[in-house]
Structure formats: structure tokens, C-alpha cells
Amino acid sequence: MLNSRSNHVLVIDFGAQYAQLIARRIRQAGVYSEIVPSTMSVDEIRARNPRAIVLSGGPASVYVEGAPQIDGSLFESGIPIFGICYGFQAMAQALGGSVEKTGNSEFGRTKFTADQSSKLFAGLDSSFDVWMSHGDSVFEAPNGFQTIGRTNGTPVAAFENQDGTLAGVQFHPEVMHSENGQAILQRWLIDTIKLRPNWNAENIIENEVINIKSEVGNKRVICGLSGGVDSAVAAALVQKAIGAQLTCVFVDHGLLRKGEAEQVERDFVTATGVNLVVVNAQEKFLNALSGVSDPEEKRKIIGREFIRAFEAAARELVSTGEVEYLVQGTLYPDIVESGGGTGTANIKSHHNVGGLPSDLKFKLIEPLKNLFKDEVREVGMELGLPSPIIWRQPFPGPGLAIRIVGEVTQERLRILREADFIVREELQLAGLDREIWQCPVVLLADIRSVGVQGDGRTYGHPVVLRPVSSEDAMTADWYRVPTEVLAKISNRITNEVREVNRVVLDVTSKPPGTIEWE
């Protein structure tokens, strides 16, 4: 079997906000990538045996004392290296070129002129827009390197050595605003240094199934299903590997959106054949939330009640025979952002099983820990999971409770579910459901406004639409939903959900606003 991770690229992170995006773009070219810190030594890098290295951007200036540097011996290792922004400058400096603060800073969209005779830009237009973000510039390319790109403010905006295995660019090819960015990365990875594009959903599944079988043997496994794509794909992958040895537990807290509990109980089971235990805890959650309006208190209550419900189900399963493993839907960004590895540490709270009692000791299985969200969805499609589960928009663990500003009641949940369902349906009909990162619908339950419906005055609730576009939820911008779609959504909500008489649109970016309201 082909091990698609043996053909891998290391992304050396110099503190870039786009390091994860660089790794994702490399994977989209069909090559496995991992992020490592700039403090990793050359010996440690060599021990990882990468087929190539990409040097990320970063906020520092290469000539400032204490700025992260590259050990020049790395360029004697024979490993192909590609520099981006700060990585481009650090590469130039380590190889004997010069970097200076020229006073010609460039930020945002910039016109770039490419040398079409170069290996990196062959076949591309001679001029295209790129995304710049720098105050320093490479003033002189290292000996043995040819300058192959420039802008009006940066005469050395790209270079490569004779065979193209050492190359770099001042701009950010990984961001969507850079034209030809993905093509440039693929040209270097696939055409110049001849990496094999074998990182795909089929190989990911094949590798993970073998790993899971080897790890688990004939032991029993438990998985907490939340209804989200991460836990669903993780469970389906484990189910494919070990079948009936897996039991999934779905705690229905009554805070999901319309139709989502049914997706788990019916559609997921039909698609996978998994053993599913459903814990109906709706009444317990509502009773615990009664009279509570503070969002942090809501989160604590929901987390506590979830643990209790999951613990009871887990104990019952353990009583029928030893359960040794717990499946967790950890993704690669979780690993990177937590700074390290995995093991039997605390279960992450946003995966809905945080803080389990110490006497419920499980070893973790994290089949998605090397994947980004888009890769998880590709694996889900390859496994045959239902489309509504695969393409479900990100949804908070506490569910609709934190999309109700005020106390959570059965009636308020009903109102919000109906309004939310209309929004999701209309965005899907407009073909926008996969283009928008997510669109929270918020019920301002403690606010009422005067309206007119029919021949009478009303005193109803407003709801807020929060459509956002994002790559990773760290930053986001409000999505410009066409006015005709907004008009239809507003008309339907105020006609079909009689308790709502006003629909408003949140046009705040992140930062300064968060995606969720509570």
C-alpha cells in the first residue's frame, strides 16, 4: 500500500497568520504537509525526512536582533526549499543576499510582473495581481539565483536557483487574493521538484483503517456523536475499520436545529450501520437552563449536563464489557493550536465530552488529527455519508442556547428553530449554502419591537442574520447576501413565524465582532 504521508512537506512557521493556510494549499496540490516551529533544529528537520520545505511568512524583520533565523546548513541538505514573504527574506539573507528596509512597503493587492522563462512562472501570464504584506524587501538576490519577478515597489519579488529547487516569492501565494497562487505552488511542488500528488481521501481512509485496526485489535470503542461533521466522519471511519466493536452515543440535549437530531438517528445510522445509543436528555437540559440568561453560565450548565448524560451512557456500556477506547473528532488545527501531541489527556470541551470522570479512563482514537476541515468533508463524501451531514455549517457545542439572547425556553427554541430553518432553506435554494462559512440566526428574546401584521399592531421579537465568509473562523467578514435573497428570507420569517416581526442583518467583521453573539 502507498503511504501518502511519506511524500511530505514541512512548513516551517515563523509566526505567520497564514501558516495553516500554506499547509492546506500544499495538501490541495495532493501532497501531505505538516507545520513545525522555526525553533526546530536542522538535525530534527533532517530526521523527519521531508521531501521539501516551505518557509512561512512572519511579523518580524530578519535583520532585527532576536528575529527567527534559518541555519544556513539547511540549504546544504539537498532538500528543496521554497520561501514565502518573511521566509523568502530569511532565505535570501541565509544564502548571502541582502534584505533592507527600503521605505517601499506594500500591503494588499499589488501588480506583479513575472519572468515567463523561469521554471516557477512558465506558462503563466506575464503580469497578475498578488497579495503583499511587507515593510522590508530583498535588495539583492543571493549568488547563483536569478531574479524572476518584481513589482513597482520591490525589484526582487521572486527568485530561483538554476534548477528551481530553491525558490521563493515576496507575496503570499496561499491566499485567495493572489492570482495564480495555487498554480505557482503546484508548479514548484509537482513540476519542478517532482513530488507525487498522492494525498487524497481514498488514501487517507486506507491508511487510517489500517492504523485503527492495528491499534484497537478486538477491543471495544465508544464515540460521542454531536451531529456535526467532525464527529460523524470520525465515527464513520472507525466503523469502517472495526464494525460492531464501535458503539456511538448521541446525547439529544434538545438544542440542535430543526431536523438535525433526525439526521443523526436516522440518516447516519442508515449510511454507516453503526450501533447507536440515543440519550434523550432534553427535559434535563431545559430544567437546568431555566431562568439562566448569562451566556457563560449557559455554557457551563450545558457542559456539565452533557458530561452527566454521556457518563451515564458510558458506564452502562462499560458494565456490559470492557470499553478501552474513545473516538474524538480532533482536527489538525486543534493539534497545531494546542502546541502538541495527543494521548490520554483531557477531552476537548468543544467535542462535547470534556471533563469525564477520572475513573472513566479511555485511550483516545483521533482518526482526523492530521486533517483540515475541507479534507474531513472529502473523507466523509468518500465514505458515503449523507450530504446534509457533510456540509453542515459549523455549529457551537452549546447549540441554539447561545443563539438565544436571554433565557432558553421550549417556546423560544421553537421560534428560533423555525426562523433558522427558513434561512438555511433559502440559502440552499439560492446556491449559497456552501459558499457561506456559516449563518447563525440569533433570537433577541429579551427584546421586543413594535410592528404591524395584518390589521393590528404587534409586539414581537427581532431575529438577527449573521452570514459570514471565512477560511478558518479566526477572521471573518460578513457575507454580501443578494438583496433579493434577504428580502425573501425576511418575508418568509415574518409571515411564517408569527412571533417575529423584525429581521435585521449583522454587517460586522471579525475582528471586532465574534461570529456568535454569545
Amino acid identity, residue 82? F
**Grid cell listed for 417:** 428553530
pLDDT at position 510, please?
86
From CA 424, how far away is CA 489, in angstroms rounded? 9
DSSP 8-state class, residue 264: I
Name which residue leads in pLDDT, 359 or 162: 162
- How many CB atoms within 10 Å of residue 472? 15
Map residue 59 onto helix, strand or coil: coil
**Nearest CA to 121 among 187, 67, 57?**
187
pLDDT at position 319, please?
79
- Residue pair 334/346 in contact (Cβ under 8 Å)? The answer is no
Whether the predicted pLDDT of 340 surpasses 60: no
Whether the predicted pLDDT of 358 surpasses 60: no
- Of these residues, 85, 223, 248, 439, which one is catalytic? 85
- What phi and psi, each to the nearest 5 degrees, are found at residue 299? -60, -45
Whether the predicted pLDDT of 61 surpasses 50: yes
Residue 14: CA count within 13 A, CB half-sphere: 24
CB burial readout 57-96, b (16+ within 10 A) else e:
bbebbbeeeebbebeeebbeeebbbbbbbbbbbbbbbbbe
pTM of the predicted structure, to 2 decimals? 0.80
Whether the predicted pLDDT of 380 surpasses 90: yes
Whether the predicted pLDDT of 342 surpasses 60: no
Map residue 40 onto helix, strand or coil: coil
- Residue pair 173/130 in contact (Cβ under 8 Å)? The answer is yes
pLDDT at position 332, please?
87
Range in 324-333, 409-418, 480-489, 497-506 the model is least confident about: 324-333
Whether the predicted pLDDT of 348 surpasses 70: no
**Grid cell listed for 324:** 478501552
202 assigned to active site: no
Amino acid identity, residue 32? Y
350 assigned to active site: no
- Of these residues, 8, 34, 134, 172, which one is catalytic? 172
pLDDT at position 448, please?
84
Residue-wise pLDDT tens digits, 245-283? 999 999 999 999 999 898 888 999 999 999 999 999 999
Residue-wise pLDDT tens digits, 273-312? 999 999 999 999 999 999 999 999 999 999 899 888 988 8
From CA 300, how far away is CA 401, in angstroms rounded? 12
Q: What is the mean pLDDT of residues 368-376?
A: 91
- Of these residues, 34, 160, 174, 426, which one is catalytic? 174
**Mean of per-residue pLDDT scores for the chain:** 89
**Grid cell listed for 517:** 453573539
pLDDT at position 135, please?
74
174 assigned to active site: yes
Q: How confident is the model at residue 456 (pLDDT cuts 50, 70, 90)?
A: low
